[in-house]
Amino acid sequence: MNEYGEFGVIGKSVPKKDGKVKATGEAKFGADITLPRMLYGKLLRNGQHPHARISGIDTSRAEKLKGVRAVVTGKDFPGILYGNFAHTRDYLPLAIDRVRYIGEEVAAVAADDEDTAQEAISLIRVEYEPLAAVFDPEEAMKDGAPLLYDNKPHNISSSSNFGFGETEGGFRESDWVREETFKTQNIKHGMIEPHASVGLWEAEKITLWACKQSPYIVWRQMAMALGIPPSKVRIVQTYVGAGNSGGKQEALPMDLCAVMLSKKTGRPVRFVHTMEDVLTIGHMRHSYKINLKLGLKKDGSLQAVQIRAIADGGAHSSIGQLSIFLLGMFSLAAYRIPNFKYDVFRIYTNKQWPGALRGHCGPQARFAFEALMDMAADDLGLDHFDIRKKNALHPGDVTPNGFKITTCNLTEALDKVKEVSGWDSKKGKLPKNRGIGLAVSAFPTGSNIMGHTACSAMLKVQEDGTVALQTGATDVGQGCDTVLPMIAAEVLGIQAEDVSFAMIDTDVTPVDPGTWGSRVTFYGGNAVKIAAMDARNQIAEVAADLLEAKESDLVFHNRRIYIKGNPDRGMDLEKAIRHCQNKLGRPIMGRGTYNAPADTVEFSVGKGNVAPTYSFYAQTAEVEVDPETGKFDILSVVTAHDGGRELNPMLVEGQLVGSFVMHQGQATFEGIERLDGQVLNPNFLDYKMVSSADLPDNLSFNSVGVPDPEGPFGAKEAGEGASAPALASIANAVSDAIGVRIKSLPITPDKILEALKEKG
């Protein structure tokens, strides 16, 4: 910022730094990594039994095949369970005694080429004793149901139970009470790049090159599963072909098998999943059955909310304990709710397991809540905007569970989306079979819900005035490789192209929680800003002597340092740095660490301020339904978002578009299809996702944010929040168009036709 308070870099639409290397094919993704003497790995999966005991594994034929260098089974590993939370860890690198879903890994081979590795896999014989399986979570909870884990009664993987206020009293005082059940489905991340990794174990040191969105989570889990200190593990990040907030978060069997096979052979081993692997194994969105009950006064004010829900947890816990907590958190995060009761269970079933996915249970929560808000408005004769504005959170509010609302422009977002969408001229006035729907949401900017939350940054100012920046943040397409350098550039008075961004190498870069929860720009950005200020202060101390001025009077702008009010009295930044380093022997190294001033979250009682600040969204969708076929088109979507100051408006819009489009798929046709635990659509021909041809003709995004005092240069979240209202706005629009509420996703043509038939 110059002496007039104007930004030199912040607020500009700077293209992503990696755009050129990706467009030209120079970027090295996981599958592009090739090392001398490298072997090729393949995994043997349980291909037919949703639940079975392993009575024997014979690898002798595979081991004798020419070109096969090593074979591993579960017994080659220490047998240590690993995972995210101590009380829910249930992963093993390879199954040992039992398989719990079709697709679970039971053995791996390393060979001279992929064809030989694939042939070797076919030669391994596994003896299975089939066990009774269970696929429906409600059936899995019943007495006598097959148990996936002997120490988990009723197949309860985890639960989240808490409440605030007097819920029953709130319902008694309500003039309107309604209870409905909503269902959501599993969807996959849909990343174009499949998982890939190369493992090398040499001299008691493990190195894994892999496309991970949170390399330090993998770093910790690898050490845990192998029973070695983290100092013996090195993760080198490759370019990531999308992770979509969860798809490449954790250590996978392929990663652990790569390094174990390398230990056996003394050679690097590469694994690359097929897309069928990706769509068959775990990590996907949780499916829920949500029973939601609301109580309101005649004026539309919320009095009580009760949620009872069941999440299908599949065969492993993954990050599910957090997931089911978040469903409750997102139900509390937009409105003033005086009384709240929450009971949710995550249940093991013999299916692939869900974990985190963009929006992480926010879209499911808002899908149910915003539907009932529409029903309340209609029954009470209230305007859909007015009922939401009446209950909206405001700056200074503290929710019953302890969310501290700082900057909040939710009512302004509602006003903006109403204006831009032309709601008043459309609601109740559209042609037959057309409808318009509204939804709101809130989203945390980062969180303090994990053991490690702080971010750190280091930077070195080079002799020519450029900067080498290192953080623990991973770019998965969201643009931190561009935004974080912009922050450093703004502080030091240079341009974004003057700042390089290092990819993660856990032996070199600062330890970091990872890329999840819309935290990187806020946490990492603050750390970078502090590191840049540290470097700037070092330079200013020397420049002040050279210019015979006070440090506080110096302005860093346009690669120069000058005295405020007198631009001619100054010097080139490069000259000051050369003097520091070459004359005085002072290398300019900046360091910064940031952790948000948020409360400790007590998961057991659902209490605590999970984030330093929150973003807010309002969204309308307009649809047209064909009553003959049941198909519908999304004609327009208008979003107003309070995301603080936009550091790079172009990248913010890209994130908002991506968030909506991904959830357009879940609302309309996307989902994993299974029969007795077998995935029926494990490829992109059968697993349908939104393409450019499906996009609405009109996508409008409108910022109503104000700079947040805690955010770096006033920024807040803009990576996932737009996902949360999308399911609800589309579903509410379809309901408006056909006059019938569809309470399960996706909203397919057959569901619409059936609803119209029942309506008569």
Residue 230 half-sphere exposure toward CB, CA atoms < 13 A: 11
Mean pLDDT of 740-747: 98
Q: Please give the backbone phi and psi of residue 54, each rounded to the nearest 5 degrees, phi first.
A: -90, 115
Residue 52 above 90 pLDDT?
A: yes
Q: How confident is the model at residue 453 (pLDDT cuts 50, 70, 90)?
A: confident
Pairing label, strands 233-237, 434-444: unpaired
pLDDT of residue 291: 98
Residues 605-626 have a mean pLDDT of 95
Cα–Cα distance measured from residue 274 to residue 352, given in angstroms and rounded to the nearest whole number: 16
Q: 356 with 719: CB under 8 angstroms? A: no
In this predicted structure, the answer to whether residue 331 has a pLDDT above a threshold of 80 is yes
In the sheet with 302-314, reading across from the earlier edge strand, the strands are 156-164, 340-348, 302-314, 287-296, 176-183
Question: 225 φ, ψ to 5°?
Answer: -70, -30
Residue 91: predicted pLDDT:
93
Residues whose CB is less than 8 angstroms from the CB of residue 613 and which lie 6 or more positions away in sequence, other chains included: 406, 407, 445, 522, 644, 708, 710, 711, 716
Q: How far apart are CA 663 and CA 731, in angstroms?
A: 11
Contact of 356 with 319, CB cutoff 8 Å: yes
| CA angle, 365 then 366 then 367, to 5° | 95
Return the closest-CA partner of residue 661 out of 633, 693, 699, 690.
Answer: 690
Cα–Cα distance list, 575 to 8, 538, 557, 569 (Å): 20, 14, 14, 14
pLDDT at residue number 759:
87
Q: Would the pLDDT of 24 be above 80? A: yes
Q: Mean per-residue pLDDT for 514-536?
A: 94
- pLDDT tens string 675-732: 999 999 999 999 999 988 899 989 999 999 999 999 999 999 987 888 999 999 999 9
pLDDT tens, residue by residue, 112-166: 999 999 999 999 999 999 999 999 999 999 999 999 999 999 999 999 999 999 9
For range 228-239, the mean pLDDT:
96
Least confident range of 269-273, 312-316, 429-433, 593-597: 593-597
Q: Is the pLDDT of residue 658 over 80?
A: yes
Instruction: Please report the pLDDT score of residue 665 as a whole number.
Output: 95
Neighbours of 296 (CB within 10 A): 27
Q: Which residues of 95-139 form beta strands (DSSP E)? A: 98-99, 105-111, 125-130
Give residue 679's pLDDT: 96
Query: Which backbone phi and psi does 132 adopt, to 5 degrees?
Result: -60, 140
Rg for the chain, CA atoms, rounded: 27
Find the mean pLDDT for residues 446-471: 90
Query: What is the arithmetic mean of pLDDT over 319-338?
Result: 94
* CB proximity list for 415: less than 8 A, separation 6 or greater: none
Region 386-395 average pLDDT: 98
Residue 718 neighbours by CB under 8 Å, 6+ apart: 518, 521, 615, 641, 643, 646, 652, 655, 656
Q: What is the mean pLDDT of residues 15-32?
A: 92
Q: Name which of 90, 91, 92, 124 is nearest 108 in CA terms.
A: 124
Instruction: Inform me whether the pLDDT recorded for 662 exceeds 80.
Output: yes
Tokens of 308: 């009872």
Rounded to two decimals, the pTM is 0.96
Banded model confidence at residue 243, pLDDT cuts 50, 70, 90: confident
Q: For residue 594, what are the contacts with CB-CB under 8 A and spacing of at least 6?
A: 454, 455, 456, 523, 524, 526, 527, 530
Cβ atoms 54, 96 nearer than 8 A: yes
Q: Please state the rounded mean pLDDT for residues 70-74.
A: 98
Segment 313-329 shows an average pLDDT of: 94
Percent of the chain residues topping a pLDDT of 70:
99
pLDDT band at 490 (very low <50, low <70, confident <90, very high): very high
Can you tell me the mean pLDDT for 628-635? Answer: 96
**Percentage with pLDDT > 90 across the chain:** 88
Per-residue model confidence as pLDDT tens digits over 587-608: 999 999 999 876 778 888 888 9
pLDDT digits (tens, 9 = 90+) for 164-175: 999 999 999 999
Q: CA-CA distance, 482 to 18, in Å (whole number)?
A: 8
Q: 360 with 245: CB under 8 angstroms?
A: yes
- How far is residue 106's CA from residue 45's CA, in Å, rounded to a whole number? 6
Q: How confident is the model at residue 244 (pLDDT cuts 50, 70, 90)?
A: low
Model confidence band, residue 622 (pLDDT cutoffs 50, 70, 90)? very high
In the structure encoding, which two tokens stand for residue 627, read together?
A: 């009553």
What is the C-alpha separation between 578 and 543, in angstroms, rounded? 11
The tokens describing 332, both together, are 């509390």
Computed over every residue of the chain, the mean pLDDT equals 95
For residue 3, is pLDDT > 70? no
User: Identity (one letter) of the amino acid at 316?
Assistant: H
- Domains of the chain with bracketed CATH: 19-27+454-594 (3.30.365.10), 33-131+193-241+248-280 (3.90.1170.50), 287-448+601-759 (3.30.365.10)
pLDDT in tens, 553-587: 999 999 999 999 999 999 999 999 999 998 999 99
Question: What are the tokens at 467?
Answer: 């900067």
* 3-state SS, one letter per residue, for 665-704: HHHHCCCCCEECCEECCCCCCCCCCCCHHHCCCEEEEEEC
SS3 category, 108: strand
- Residue the block writes with tokens 């053995």: 107
Q: Does pLDDT of 524 surpass 90?
A: yes
Tell me: pLDDT of 503 over 70: yes
Count of alpha carbons within 13 angstroms of residue 123, beta-carbon side: 17
Instruction: With beta carbons less than 8 A apart as the criterion, state whether 414 and 640 touch.
Output: yes
Residue 239 DSSP one-character state:
B
Q: What pLDDT does residue 204 have?
A: 84
Encoded tokens for 189:
């991340």
Q: How far apart (Å, rounded) are the C-alpha atoms in residues 460 and 532?
A: 9
Place of tokens 């036709």: 753
